[in-house]
Amino acid sequence: MKIAMKWFFLSLFSPLCLPYLACSQDTAYFVPDGTQGEELVKLDSLHSIARKRPWNEFDFKSTSFKIGAGFLYEFGTFEQNANSKIQSDSGQYSLEPTFKVRDFRVLLSGQIKSKRAITWRAGLMYDGPSDSWFLRESGVLVSVPELWGEFFVGRTKEGFSMNKVMNGYAGWSMERQMAIDVIPILADGIKWMGFLPRQKIFWNLGGYTDWLSKGQSFSTYLWQVDARVGWLPIYSPKDKKILHLGLSLRYGEPVDHQMRLKSRPEAFTAPYFIDTKTFSSDHSFHIGPEAYYSAGPLLFGSEIYWHHFYDKQGEDHVFQGGELMVSYLLTGGSRSYKTISNIYAFVPVSHPVFKGGGGQIEFMIRYTQLDLNSGSVQGGNFWRITPMINWYLSNNFRFEIAYGYGVLDQYGIKGSTQFFQSRIQLLLN
């Protein structure tokens, strides 16, 4: 109880410690809210969209140049029951109260001056878990209305799972669900994103190799291909109602025909709770349906995934997990949705705290689970329930406070852990 009270007061006052770091000017997005993917296809040029140039964007001879940055800082502490402490000893890890930088990134982007809409982006990020710097999403995006969409060439997210594709700073929770930790966060290759506005059908097709990323921590596959396809049975931005149905498919060949899967308990300051160790696999196949519905301030949805790993010389394995979530904006409004990549995006803040308003307050609760037990591989099974509050002080500044209750089934016993977490998020986009 003492730990919980300390966490509560630290979380309550921590957003007051850094208000001078938040940019009081509303973020000016590269594509204004309300501009849908079908409009970009019709226009075939971002030049056609009238907008005010933000202070952090510059006009050069051949391209515009925009600089941005992101910063995440977290606190986490824990309470374990007796069995959970036994599991910690067996797994040789400990849970300690921790303040730590989650990540810091520099974001560069621009639009090349040409008849066809061509944009570029580059990102460099300091990663807290690995205490290292690496290149984030970087490449060129080319509009191809003749094929109803856009092509991205470079380093990017594969396109598997809405939750995975969404900007990490825009998500409704602190961490993505565990079941998609199985999929690497980045890959080098080419991706085709498309949307048919009349039929309301979308797709995301990609192919990737480790030619440039070999040796990177995320490069666990020699090559992989992905497909994410779906339909919007309900799509009414005017009424703020959306029903999104999608399916993700993926096939890949692991490096050296070896694979290791592991996941933290959706707490960056915690160690890995479940871990398969290394096992043999010559190829893998992944499948997962996703469904989301939003109506004004309400959003709820689910993603479920099955990860199949095959070995011609040995044992096959199947690992399963998923998420069920509900979010509600207590101060009204609605989370934006982008048909460019068919994802939910940032929560618009029309009355920032730094301009005399109250910002936006969101309540979210979700259930997540990942089972890494299959045959001779016994990585553990973990589930967690997480209620949390997001306070969007402005489009640049967000404060999060979360409580989690999780149960780990491992080493023949079940141990429970309580999680007390908070995060400060700054974003200049």
pLDDT in tens, 166-205: 999 999 999 999 999 999 999 999 999 999 999 999 999 9
**How far is 425 from 103, CA to CA, in rounded Å?**
10
How many degrees, rounded to 5, is the angle at CA 414 between CA 412 and CA 417?
Answer: 145
Q: What is the mean pLDDT of residues 402-415?
A: 97
pLDDT of 45 > 50? The answer is no
Distances in Å between the alpha carbon of 151 and those of 62, 118, 185, 293, 319?
21, 10, 19, 27, 32
DSSP secondary structure string, 157-200? ----SHHHHS-TTT-SSSS--GGGTTS-S-EEEEEEEEEETTTT
Q: Which candidate, 291, 288, 202, 204, places its Cα nearest to that of 245?
A: 291
pLDDT of 8 > 90? The answer is no
pLDDT of 146 > 90? The answer is yes
**How far is 240 from 244, CA to CA, in rounded Å?**
13
pLDDT of 36 > 60? The answer is no
**Which backbone phi and psi does 204 adopt, to 5 degrees?**
-145, 110
Amino acid at 99: F
Q: Which residues have C-beta within 8 Å of that of residue 6, sequence separation ≥ 6? A: 77
DSSP secondary structure string, 20-40? GGS-SSPP--SS-TT--HHHH
pLDDT of 7 > 60? The answer is no
pLDDT of 110 > 60? The answer is yes
pLDDT of residue 216: 82
Q: What is the mean pLDDT of residues 274-292?
A: 98
CATH superfamily of 2-428: Porin (2.40.160.10)
pLDDT of 423 > 70? The answer is yes
**Which backbone phi and psi does 46 adopt, to 5 degrees?**
-70, -15
Displacement of CA 291 from its chain's centroid (Å):
16
pLDDT of residue 12: 43
Summarised one tens digit per residue, pLDDT across range 159-177 is 999 999 999 999 999 999 9
pLDDT of 144 > 60? The answer is yes
pLDDT of 390 > 70? The answer is yes
As given in the structure block, the two tokens for residue 426 are 């700054």
pLDDT of residue 241: 97
pLDDT of 48 > 90? The answer is no
Q: What is the mean pLDDT of residues 262-267?
A: 96
pLDDT of residue 215: 79
pLDDT of 331 > 50? The answer is yes
Q: What is the mean pLDDT of residues 282-307?
A: 98
**How far is 421 from 266, CA to CA, in rounded Å?**
10
Beta carbons of 221 and 184 less than 8 angstroms apart = yes
Q: Which candidate, 97, 140, 86, 133, places its Cα nearest to that of 117?
A: 140
**How far is 40 from 42, CA to CA, in rounded Å?**
5
pLDDT of residue 326: 98
In three-state secondary structure terms, 99 is strand
pLDDT of residue 228: 98
pLDDT of residue 13: 43
Q: Domain map of the chain by residue range? A: 2-428
End-to-end Cα, the chain, rounded Å? 39
pLDDT of 34 > 60? The answer is no
Q: Which residues have C-beta within 8 Å of that of residue 361, sequence separation ≥ 6? A: 329, 330, 331, 389, 390, 391, 392
**How far is 217 from 214, CA to CA, in rounded Å?**
9
pLDDT of 89 > 50? The answer is yes
In total, the chain counts a number of residues equal to 429
